[in-house]
Structure 1
Amino acid sequence: MIGKAPRWIVIFVGIIACIWVIPIAGIVVTSLRPPEGVSLGWWHFERFDLTFDAWHRVWDKYPLSQSMWVTMKTAGIATALTMVLTPAAAYAFHFLNFPFRRILLIIIINAFVLPQQVVIIPLFTLWRDLGLIDNILSVLIPYVGMSFAWSIFLVKNFFEDFPRELVEAAKIDGCGPIATFRHVVLPNSLSPIFAVGILQFLWTWNALLLPMLFLRNDVPLPVLLARISGSYEINWDLRSVAAIITTIVPLLVFLVFQRQFAAGSQTRTGAKE
């Protein structure tokens, strides 16, 4: 039975939560104030005029709806491919025997410590030679490929405690590797797969470096948010609106799937939930 937390812990956590909320409140207030009010600082309320002018200007001046669609398309495809390929790769590395298995696993896991900046120039040269600059594949391939390092490690770590008796029983019943994976391993591995999907979606949704370098016309929301900043004025009100729009979807995704994310982070058993 879980006891009640001490009052000082509740007060301390409440103070930390309030500190975290202050920047969010500042962004919301900045998006609703005129430029002259924003220049004084969003915390000054001597002249507190609310207006939706920044929201109208952002939607009229910048292609937010198009960028929203591009972001949803790239993040959705990259997340779906990662959720499909990662458990299959982790299953192969953990349960199957094939030549150079350990060497391949070490190479993939070591890619986890490889910064994105290291592969930028080789990727740019490769995509230029293949004619993939300003093509969605130029970001989808790195999104999926660079996610294998941590995603395979996460799912394989879950398989460490997976009951091998279930796999052996499937072999006795005549199931091959693919049937065993499909009917035994995959249904009992949904928690880490959901955790991988949430992390991948949040990463690809907020990615800035790769799409900024490889995409030109149809750009995702983070790139558009970077472009909203003016050359001679910072446009804090417009940037606040774009920041709110950019963060709404990942926030909703995390709130909806937070139970699956927590289960995937904590589950270390192969028992089906």
Structure 2
Amino acid sequence: MKDASSRWATAIVSVVALIWAVPIIGIVVTSLRPMNEAVLGWWTTSQFTLTLDAWRSVLTRYPLVEAFWVSLKLAGISTIMTALLTPAAAYAFQFLRFPLRRTILVVIFTTFALPQQVVIIPLFRLWREMGLIDHIASILIPYVGLSFAWSIVVVKNFLRGFPRDLIEAARIDGCGPIAMFFYIVLPNTLASISAIAILQFLWSWNSLLLPLLYLRTQIPLPVAFARIAGTYDPNWNLRAAAAIITAIAPLTIFIIFQRQFARGALSRSGSEG
């Protein structure tokens, strides 16, 4: 019975994987076909020509290489800042006692329900007065600030299962709050930090709204990708090639760190055992 159920599970998973792979195959094939064939649908075979013209055109006519480095800089810096600041904040809310702790935590949690559209106009006015329009700081600050709510929730929930005996033993040995964080808590929260780092990188990399409004010269890949769409010409082959270039970095990051992501998403704490 177990062998039969495992075969059924394998078959179902294979079918689902094939369904998920069909759009990816379609994008790759579309990027390799000329425009007059791409508009007919990537599955058509009445005329079938493979060419790299779309790739050459999209790399020469649009600043995708520069946009790639801008996206990498924005996503990398925001990920590092989130991964450094979130564990300390979650540790403070979980283990330390200070005035207005619960009030501050409630305020941070309420940002879950705060969409980006609400802060667009106030931030635009603020950045214009401070001279930060077309500066990467105008993107990094909201990237890190808006990610605090969910990232603190993830790490704080992870720390709920942390053995308090270790905390008490560290206090008896004379460890202060800072030493306790760096030597006791932080080494045991790497799984949750990896999870929030992956999610933050993917969100920052794919974000379109804020860079589209606040950046002018240094544009990331999503903004460059949006500019490829023609007004009268659909440019399906060009957009397919640009979509593949845009997806390379987040797909690579997710494949490399998928184990850490799953461990951080599912584990309560690696310290119990």
Q: Are the aligned partners of 2:34 and 2:53 in contact in 1 as well (CA < 8 Å)?
A: yes
* Paired AA for residue 131 in structure 1: G
Residue of structure 1 in register with 2:238 after alignment: 238
Over residues 82-130 of structure 1, what are the superposed CA-to-partner deviations in whole Å (9 max), with x where a residue is unaligned? 0000000000001101100000001001101111111111111111111
Q: Are the aligned partners of 2:158 and 2:267 in contact in 1 as well (CA < 8 Å)?
A: yes
Structure 2: how far apart are the matches of 1:5 and 1:209? 46
Residue of structure 1 in register with 2:192 after alignment: 192
Residue of structure 1 in register with 2:55 after alignment: 55
Residue of structure 2 in register with 1:124 after alignment: 124
* Paired AA for residue 35 in structure 1: M
Q: Are the aligned partners of 1:187 and 1:272 in contact in 2 as well (CA < 8 Å)?
A: no
For these two proteins, the number of residue pairs brought into alignment is 272
Residue of structure 1 in register with 2:15 after alignment: 15
Q: TM-score, normalised by structure 2?
A: 0.97
| Runs (5+) with no aligned partner, structure 2 | none
Over residues 119-163 of structure 1, what are the superposed CA-to-partner deviations in whole Å (9 max), with x where a residue is unaligned? 111111111111111110011000000000000000000111100
Residue of structure 1 in register with 2:146 after alignment: 146
Greater CA deviation, 252-261 or 36-45? 36-45
Aligned partner of residue 144 in structure 2, secondary structure: helix
Over residues 145-196 of structure 1, what are the superposed CA-to-partner deviations in whole Å (9 max), with x where a residue is unaligned? 0000000000000111100111111111111100000000000110000000
Aligned partner of residue 254 in structure 2, secondary structure: helix
Aligned partner of residue 200 in structure 2, secondary structure: helix
Q: Are the aligned partners of 2:206 and 2:222 in contact in 1 as well (CA < 8 Å)?
A: yes
Q: How does 1:1-273 map to 2 (within 5 A)?
A: 5-271=5-271
Structure 2: how far apart are the matches of 1:229 and 1:272? 52
Over residues 172-222 of structure 1, what are the superposed CA-to-partner deviations in whole Å (9 max), with x where a residue is unaligned? 111110000000000011000000000000000000111011111110001
Aligned partner of residue 44 in structure 2, secondary structure: coil
**How far has the Cα of 1:7 moved from its partner?**
2.9
Aligned partner of residue 118 in structure 1, secondary structure: helix
1:223 to 1:4, Cα distance in 2 relative to 1, 3 A? farther
1:78 to 1:262, Cα distance in 2 relative to 1, 3 A? same
1:14 to 1:134, Cα distance in 2 relative to 1, 3 A? same
* Paired AA for residue 66 in structure 2: Q
Structure 2: how far apart are the matches of 1:167 and 1:82? 24
Q: TM-score, normalised by structure 1?
A: 0.97
**How far has the Cα of 1:37 moved from its partner?**
0.8
